[in-house]
């Protein structure tokens, strides 16, 4: 069993805010140089990167944002579709002026956003590091039985609301269950503090419906297919982290990346499921720093 007892729950960063489309987006910003943007997914926040950023902060300007409706960012009354999140992310990047020589470090839905941005702004991207990432559309057949059933239920309007908004299943069960070793109570409390009410969990509830699953929603599936094809053509440096029990990046995805992606570095994290940052922050930080120093 991986020992996570020494993984810090502290978040020793100054909170900053920028207005995007009338809403405040929370972020942290440390270091100087070319920008390195850390993008989280569901149901986390910039807090996910707290123990990794210090490894890079003397090499570049490290920025981690809370996606709209998540973390300490505002929760506007929007649909929280993939397109909505992408619009706010593009606005955030533009507001901070970091759309040039940008390195992306991405996870979960942060990868769906980061890959999409890189595909749409090819002259602005410097490199991409990804872990438990959305490198293709998914199928229910890919999922173990329990996750397959949960995904079906979460995508249905009635049961999805009951499970996610009322039951808070993402924060109470899925976050700890999809981490290889136990997350500290303080870390769990921090993640949960962003979603204290039913109303605050709208973004969390919508994300499962946005996953391109067996081609649905079709608009999201088209976006993922397009950036997947671009990834096979671009020479942008890439760094893949994977664990032996991954949900998004399994053995087949690792093999596909090795075969189809050029300029790729691969790091095996060993014992890890989905929230790899809560299990192997030091390995991720060391390998990111080494890789970034190489170009």
Q: What is the pLDDT of residue 1?
A: 40
The domain locations on the chain are 16-292
Please tell me the CATH code under which domain 16-292 is placed. Answer: 3.40.50.1820
How far apart CA 130 and CA 106 sit, in angstroms, is 5
Of the residues 132, 210, 253, 287, only one is catalytic, namely: 132
Active site residue 119: no
Structure tokens at 121: 């702004």
Q: What is the pLDDT of residue 142?
A: 78
Q: What is the pLDDT of residue 5?
A: 60
What are the distances in angstroms from CA 207 to CA 65, 96, 141, 171, 278? 17, 25, 19, 14, 21
Residue 139 burial (CB count, 10 A): 12
Residue 8 burial (CB count, 10 A): 13
Residue 242 burial (CB count, 10 A): 24
How far apart CA 154 and CA 176 sit, in angstroms, is 18
Q: What is the pLDDT of residue 71?
A: 98
Report, as ranges of residue numbers, the positions in the chain whose pLDDT lies below 70: 1-5
Active site residue 32: no
Active site residue 121: no
Of the residues 274, 278, 280, 287, only one is catalytic, namely: 274
Of the residues 66, 74, 108, 287, only one is catalytic, namely: 108
* Long-range Cβ contacts of 138-141 (<8 Å, 24+ apart): 138/211, 138/212, 138/213, 138/214, 138/248, 139/213, 139/214, 140/213, 140/214
């Amino acid at each position: 069993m991986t020992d996570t007892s020494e993984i810090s729950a502290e978040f020793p960063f100054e909170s900053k805010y920028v207005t995007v489309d009338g809403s405040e987006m929370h972020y942290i910003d440390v270091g100087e140089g070319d920008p390195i943007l850390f993008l989280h997914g569901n149901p986390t926040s910039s807090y996910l990167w707290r123990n990794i950023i210090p490894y890079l902060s003397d090499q570049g300007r490290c920025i981690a944002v809370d996606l709209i409706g998540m973390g300490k960012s505002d929760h506007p009354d929007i649909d929280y579709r993939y397109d909505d999140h992408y619009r706010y992310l593009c606005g955030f990047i533009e507001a901070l002026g970091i759309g040039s020589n940008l390195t992306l470090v991405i996870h979960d839905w942060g990868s769906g956003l980061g890959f999409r941005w890189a595909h749409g702004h090819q002259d602005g991207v410097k490199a991409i590091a990804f872990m438990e990432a959305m490198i293709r559309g998914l199928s229910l057949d890919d999922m173990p039985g329990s996750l397959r059933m949960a995904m079906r239920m979460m995508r249905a309007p009635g049961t999805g609301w009951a499970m996610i908004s009322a039951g808070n299943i993402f924060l109470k069960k899925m976050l700890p269950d999809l981490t290889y070793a136990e997350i500290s109570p303080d870390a769990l409390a921090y993640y949960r503090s962003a979603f204290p009410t039913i109303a605050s969990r709208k973004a969390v509830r919508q994300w499962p419906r946005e996953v391109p699953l067996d081609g649905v929603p079709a608009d999201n599936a088209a976006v993922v297919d397009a950036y997947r094809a671009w990834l096979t053509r671009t020479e942008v440096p890439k760094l893949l982290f994977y664990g032996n029990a991954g949900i998004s990046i399994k053995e087949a995805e690792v093999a596909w990346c090795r075969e189809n992606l050029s300029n790729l570095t691969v790091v095996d994290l060993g014992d890890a499921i989905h929230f790899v940052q809560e299990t192997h922050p030091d390995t991720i930080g060391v390998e990111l720093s080494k890789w970034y120093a190489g170009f």
